[in-house]
Structure 1
Amino acid sequence: MTDLQWETLDDEVAYACEGFDIVRERVRLPNGEETEFDHLSDAESVVVLPFTADGDVVVIDEWRQAVKRRNRGLPAGNVEGEEDLDAAVRRELREETGYRAGAVEHLTTMEPANGFSDAVFHYYVARDCEATAEQDLDYNESIDVETVAFDSLVAAAREGDLRDGRTAFGVVYYALFEAEFGTR
């Protein structure tokens, strides 16, 4: 086997904005050649699959400017500062939906696009969620909240109607491995 690791010789932020940075690196490839590599750098995020006590899922519908449409999704957001993941799950759920989680448990962690991004998504299941407050949205969030049957989300993923990738992954992953985590 060959050593596949690239050596980073230098890096700089080529572009920065509120949501992410574009990092430009000067790298040396395993064959000795030097080149540039650009990637999107983003904070770690949590994605929450929140179940009510009745077994429905709390979902959000949010405007997504990049694709110019309303999008069905799961509550999600960046981990802030030194915040632990469980706290980030509870905060994002409360801010985006006004719901409070009873118990939370880690489902899985993935790198959704590691060919061009260092993003990491930590998936959690939240149980016994109940509406306890008003939403506390960021200035640039437009979100409606509702509850739906889990099976309708699986059907939407199967039909190609659940277009948000992190949501579709979380729903399908849970559906595939749900026996390990208990009943819906």
Structure 2
Amino acid sequence: MSRLKEQTIRSETIFEGRVIRVQLDEVRLPNGKTSTRELVKHTGAVSVMAVTKEGKMVFVRQYRKPLDKEILEIPAGKLEPGEDPKECAARELEEETGYRAQNLKPIVSFYTSPGFADELLHLYEATGLSEGEANPDSDEFVERVELTLEEAFQAMESGEIADAKTVAALYIWHNRVLTEK
């Protein structure tokens, strides 16, 4: 056993919603004392870094209620239980932007907020894009936006791009552009 591991003494689900489950755990700390942890359980998600043949990254503008504002994000969505992340990435890209990708390649998977949530986000690169019709979920209202690397960094500096997955994708894209030069 790890010398840093916390042992769960008791666990109670305090909320179960469509997207998350919240549980309250009582844990024994490495020093023998006890504490509580509020945990958000999530099935995981995907995000897609899609760049057009014109060299523009594909984003969606979406209102985010927790922030009470619109932001630009790369296409993304929640995994259904047992769903293959690559299939989810293809579905989300098409639903939100209308684009289909000839190739979807995994880039990295990372935990979005490991201090309180177990959400694992899988980032994919989409290439060989062909344009089609967007078909977002009935409760999802998005607008497709395509930006050059310079425009995307300006949007990040202005706060219009402010979420971690999109910031990570921008820096990955930036590094790839630098490497190709």
Secondary structure in structure 2 of the residue aligned to 1:18? coil
- Is contact 1:154-1:175 (8 Å) kept? no
Unpaired runs of 5+ residues, structure 1, are none
Residue aligning to 2:63: 63
How many pairs were matched up? 180
> Aligned partners of 1:47 and 1:66: how far apart in 2?
19
Q: Distance in 1 between matches of 2:42 and 2:10?
A: 19
TM-score of the superposed pair, with normalisation by structure 2: 0.89
Distance 1:179 1:72, change over 3 A: closer
**Against the structure 1 CA distance between its residues 120 and 19, is the aligned structure 2 distance closer, same or farther, given a 3 Å change threshold?**
same
Q: How much does 1:27 deviate? A: 1.0
Distance in 2 of aligned mates of 1:13 and 1:175:
42
Give how far 1:125 is off.
0.8
Seq. identity, %: 24
| Matches for 1:51-130 after TM superposition, within 5 Å | 51-130=51-130
Residue 170 (1) aligns with residue 173 (2): no
TM-score by length of 1: 0.88
Within 2, Cα distance between the matches of 1:23 and 1:135?
36
Partner of 2:148 in structure 1? 149
8 Å CA contact 1:157, 1:172 repeated in 2? no
Q: Is the 8 A contact 2:43 2:81 kept in 1?
A: no
Task: Indicate if the aligned counterparts of 1:49 and 1:57 stay in contact, CA closer than 8 A.
Answer: yes
Runs of 4+ in structure 1 off by over 2 angstroms are 154-161
Distance 2:167 2:84 in 1: 24
TM-aligned CA deviation for residue 20 of structure 1: 1.0
Q: Per the alignment, in what secondary structure is the counterpart of residue 61 of structure 1? A: strand
What value does the CA root-mean-square deviation take over the aligned residues? 2.1
Rounded to whole Å, the distance in 2 between the matches of 1:44 and 1:63 is 21
Three-state SS of the structure 2 residue aligned to 1:102 is strand
Structure 2: give runs of 5+ residues left out of the alignment: none
1:18-33 matched pairs, under 5 angstroms? 18-33=18-33
Mapped contact 1:154–1:172 kept (Cα < 8 A): no
Matched, 1:138 2:146: no
